[in-house]
Chains A and B, each alone.
Chain A
Amino acid sequence: MVETQTKPKRLLLARFLRNKTAVVGLIIIVTLIVIALIGPWLSPFAYNDVDRQAYLKPPSWQHPMGTTQSGRDMWALTLHGLRKSLVIGLVVAILSTSIAAIVGAFAAYYGGWFERFSLWIIDLLLVIPSFLLIALVASNSAGSASGGASSWWLLVLLLTLFGWMLSARVVRSLTLSVKQNEYITAARYMGLSGPKIIVRHILPNIASLLIIDATLNVSGAILAETSLAYFGFGVQPPDTSLGTLLGDGARQLSSFPWLFAGPATIIVLLILSVNAVGDGLRDAFDPGSKASGKG
């Protein structure tokens, strides 16, 4: 019994390890997470410290990645931004994949008016240009005094609100086919309630999709925050994210490249690794679909 249970997992691991890009990606992600966690001890400066002797200085021994216009250390800022971007990516991914799983599975399992209503809401949210509306709300909170500490939570909520619909559709169509299986009928005849059947029998059966989806949502959320930040609608100062740093750096790229180079390298490494791991997971879970694109 134990043997048959461990085998699929081992096979999964073997398939994942065969994909060199994904393995390298995983190593990079773990390294970046560790760096982000121990960040405050890796730099003599805090991200909001101001060095009055060094305004807009290129990289030196004291400031390995240079300083900003206001004398803040780029290395410390990048570490802090990485931490914030990771948190935003992870929280948005977990929340939106959870919503997608619950809405998609319940809609498909119960059908009827609830399914029609959910699909209509999904269509509506897809029609609304999410980027514009997130920018609308984020720009308002950025202008108000309550910005800073609370604003990134608002950003997480907005990104989640507009981030779950496509996955929910996929979950729904998968649930529709899982629902046909005999063990679901058996569970129902044994008197198990709908929500219990969904949680115990349906969701575990589409877990592979959910894991892949959550992984790709991490990179999607980080990229979305980066795009918003470029226009000043992202995480607000004095707090910072990789996106905010990149947005500021991009404007002065030709004169002060060090404001851009560090955050750009880190974010590309991070997104590339997350996407590579997502691809690797997909190949491992479902070697039949030689797929490597989510569409």
Chain B
Amino acid sequence: MADKKNWGVLAEFDTPKDIYHACESIRDEGFKHWDAHTPFPVHGLESAMGLRPSKVPWIVAAGALFGATAGITLQWWSMVVEYPAIIAGKPFFSWPAFVPVTFELSVLFAAFGAVFGMLGVNKLPTFNHPLFTSERFKGHSDDKFYVSIESRDPLFDQRKTKKMLKQLGAVHVEDVVEEED
């Protein structure tokens, strides 16, 4: 028999404007372990939540550098070291001819960095999450806006936090439980 533990609370809002102002207040209260869930990226919500800039650009830059290095090394090694051949009387290391492949590989690995870096930073895929136990939470991919505050936040207090969310304009507030074995 699985024990049920309180994971946190979930508050539903109707409009981007409501959640925007709610997030500003929660940020100013000083909560740390909380999140907003929206059907689309609400413009400016990241600053209303006080989020730090994304780390993804660094991963993309690393990917691009790796791709460029791999491209030039592959071409140098196969055309100069492993299988040198005189083609049209050109030097073995004809770097101008190596530009297209180097460029394409930089782009390829930069794209890998962007996609897999984004998924990695977001810890996706995560198929199981306490929020998915809420039936109402399904609206997050349709037309509803949610704030979730986790019980592990030092400022969390079941009763007070729910009251605060109601005051911030939430149309519905519920507890979210997680199952433990």
A associates with B: no
Chain B residues in contact with chain A, CB under 8 A? none
